[in-house]
Chain A
Amino acid sequence: MIRKNTLTALVFLVPALIVFGAFSWWPIVRGLLISFQSTNLVDPAEWVGPANFTALFTDPLLGVSIRNTLLFVGLALLIGFPAPLVLATVMATVRRAAGLYRFLVYLPVVIPPVVAILLWKWFYDPGHGLFNELFGLVGLGPFPWLDSPGSAMLSLVLQSTWAGMGGAVLIYLAAIVGIPSELYEAAQMDGASIRARIWHITLPQLRPVIGLLLLMQLITTMQVFTEPYVFTGGGPENATLTVLLLIFRYAFQDGAYGQAAALSLLLAIVLGILSAVYLRATRSWSAS
């Protein structure tokens, strides 16, 4: 009987296995192979050993792209990470029209990313963009935003924080709601200030969620692509050229598929390590 059930289960699994195999696992294997090959995708591929990796490591843009990606990750951590936490903490105290605020915060997530970026491109216009007009009212600016190597990356981070914050805010809000109210009541009776309550109750209670979101953000921001691709094309002066954009350029501008696959492989290894940490962390946190 068990064997028959297993067989039935397997038959039901077959379509999923075929789809995953054809569209996920085989491309992954193929990518691995291509990183050691030279191919034009028509003629039989040629094995070139580590040549793609050698070419990769002699490209001065590799260092630039790694530095830029780390800068994006760092700035996103600095700005994009605390922002939803702060917002959620404030929103949790709001009683009236709470639904409206949640709706407003989540709204950017619903807007298609490219549409949002094109909108922000206009906000950032160094001439008569929305931001410069607003800053102009109080006598500041005009700022070059995307047009300067110094401020371009920061501009990308601000937009992506705005666009991605909604999801994190909702997760934090749900977690905050889950904190037993007795803890706050007890603290209040002991005369704890609001700051003390946030510091000694909210944050420790949210620790597992904060940790998870932190890792998830690291993994996502390391793969940043859409923002630099649509906003700046990697400019000005390669100031927003990220690792993924470099992979894209290798493959689709230069036709250097091997080199693109090699860099993808390296990125996959780094992301794999981060994901392993993430999995371990989730397991230990859910156990605690």
Chain B
Amino acid sequence: MKHTAALLGCAVLATALAACGSPSADDGAVVIRVQGMPPATDKPGLAQFKTMVSDFERQNPGIKVQGSTTAFDPLTFSAKLAGGRAEEVIKVPLTEPQGLIARKQVQPLTGELGKWAHYKEFNPQVLQPLSDGSGQVYGVPQAPFAQGLVYNRELFTKAGLDPDKPPATWEDVRAAAKRIAEKTGKAGFVHESKSNQGGWQLTMLTYTHGGEIEKDSGGKYVAAFNAEPTKKALTLLKEMRWSDDSMGSNQLNDQNDVIKRFAAGEIGMYMGTPGTYRLAKMTYGMENTDAFGIGPLPQAGGKATLTGGDVFLVPKSVSKEKAAAAVKWLLFAYAQPAYDPAAAAERAKQLAADPESAVGVPTLPMFDAAQQAKIDEAVKPHVNVKLEHFAPWLEGTPALTLKPEPPVQAQQVYAVLDTVVQAVLTDEDADVDALLAKAETDVNAKLAAAQR
């Protein structure tokens, strides 16, 4: 009896361990697991995703799609990659692809993507952040964005500011933030400062001041931020924080903290994309969504902004056959509806059936402007967001140069710059010049090590 029990235990364990393989269908179909399935809380999105899957499977017999609500998380991604269990399609924020490409953890898809009839018509600006130095493309964007200035229209009105005219320069931002803080007691403007997002936002600020984070120096990249534009950017933050007291009291924030507080009506302005509307509404339960407004990223001589949004990539561990199926899915699910007005209208109609959804949040053109105009026209009857509140962003962004993230070791550079931003926001006597000089030394050491 004892023997039987022990053997039974071993057998159960062995079966459990053996089950940890790659999924395969009995009928010989190629099974791909894809991230990007909306969570159960997003009912309209989930229903649409399921329709998308069944349509795709009908059009592509031999491919089975298993949706996953898991979002990219570096922790689980490493573990899954090591165990050969990473999904065939992963959804990552635009801050990640360059690191994943540099570490060779994702695979180039140019060959498969090139088979699509409209591949050559992709807006090169949206593919650039997903490409390596040799021009290989690694993914498909979901909804490409340019960073802008998100603001609370209600707080603007309360502070006596015009909600239809968001600040166009950083001087305007400073004045508006001061006014919001004085009249409403809320934080006028909040700058992120942790989880590498302080460095990421400082990069945006630097671009708008006409600066760079890295520059090419004799074939190798070195730090370029120890210069006037970044100094001006940090001085602006310092004055807003300590002279004007318009940035609130809590300074250690990442993007989630900021959007959460914005959704609760606690923040006047932050740097973000139109896509953060969905987060504010659907993840953080923003009730008064009419208060959401967005303008182009304010400028101080740089006439530039940073790209943003989510993209889909295929891990390197995925077999060629599955990668080809994954590309078919990505084109069907995300590229086709951004190109074909009829497909776009159909998707928008499905989503709009539920009032909880957010239909028509504007994006950058995934193809050219003429194609985007056709799409916009087709989805117009189904749009349920207040498009006029996104109008300043739509009108102002085309005048700006879309700049990518720093080309080498962006995340490590951001980590160093996080500390600079934190120092400026938490220490009244922070010495901007000294902080930048030290950060330059640290970053150059990291860049040199990475380019050895």
Contacts and interface: CB of A to CB of B under 8 A. Distances in A.
Contacts of B422: 235-237
B132 interface: no
A249 interface: yes
A147 B194 contact: no
B66 interface: no
A252 B75 contact: yes
Given A18-B13, A42-B317, A237-B423, A253 B251 contact: no
B426 A41 contact: no
Interface in A1-35: 8, 11-12, 14-15, 18-19, 22
A11 B7 contact: yes
A188 to B, nearest CB: 53
A55 interface: yes
Contacts of A18: 10, 13, 17
Nearest to B14: A18
Contacts of B195: 233
B104 interface: yes
Interface string B1-22: 0110011011001000100000
Given A40-B103, A233-B194, A235-B193, A14 B6 contact: yes
Nearest to B441: A60
Given A40-B103, A252-B74, A146 B252 contact: yes
A144 interface: yes
A8 B411 CA distance: 54
Interface string B251-283: 110100000000000000000000000000000
Contacts of B248: 127
Given A12-B2, A41-B78, A254 B412 contact: yes
A126 B249 contact: yes
Contact of A252 (B9, B78, B82, B426): B78
A225 interface: no
A58 interface: yes
Given A42-B81, A252-B74, A236 B13 contact: no
B196 interface: yes
Interface string A210-247: 00000000000000000000011111111000000000
Contacts, number: 117
A198 B328 CA distance: 76
What DSSP secondary structure best describes chain B's contact surface?
helix
B72 to A, nearest CB: 12
A148 B427 contact: yes
A149 interface: yes
A107 to B, nearest CB: 27
B70 interface: no
Contacts of A125: 249-250
Nearest to B414: A253
Interface in A126-162: 126-128, 142, 144, 146-149
A36 interface: no
B415 A235 contact: no
Interface string B408-452: 000110010011001101110000000000000010010001000
B99 interface: yes
A232 B194 contact: yes
Contacts of A41: 78, 81-82, 105
Contacts of B254: 233
Among B6, B100, B254, B449, the most chain A Cβ lie within 10 Å of the Cβ of: B6
Contacts of B415: 249, 253
Contacts of A12: 2, 6, 9
Nearest to B76: A252
A149 B13 contact: no
Given A11-B7, A235-B418, A148 B426 contact: yes
Contacts of A237: 419, 422-423, 426-427
Contact of A8 (B6, B82, B249): B6
A40 B2 contact: no
B374 interface: no
B195 to A, nearest CB: 5
B316 interface: yes
The 8 closest A-B CB pairs, nearest first, are A127-B249, A233-B194, A11-B6, A236-B422, A252-B74, A41-B82, A126-B249, A236-B426
Given A233-B418, A237-B426, A255-B100, 15 more contacts: A18-B17, A42-B315, A42-B316, A55-B449, A60-B445, A147-B249, A147-B252, A148-B426, A148-B427, A233-B252, A236-B425, A236-B427, A237-B427, A251-B78, A255-B99
9 contacts: A8-B2, A15-B10, A40-B105, A42-B315, A149-B427, A235-B193, A235-B252, A236-B193, A251-B78
Interface of B: 2-3, 6-7, 9-10, 13, 17, 74-75, 78, 81-82, 99-100, 103-105, 193-196, 248-252, 254, 315-317, 411-412, 415, 418-419, 422-423, 425-427, 442, 445, 449
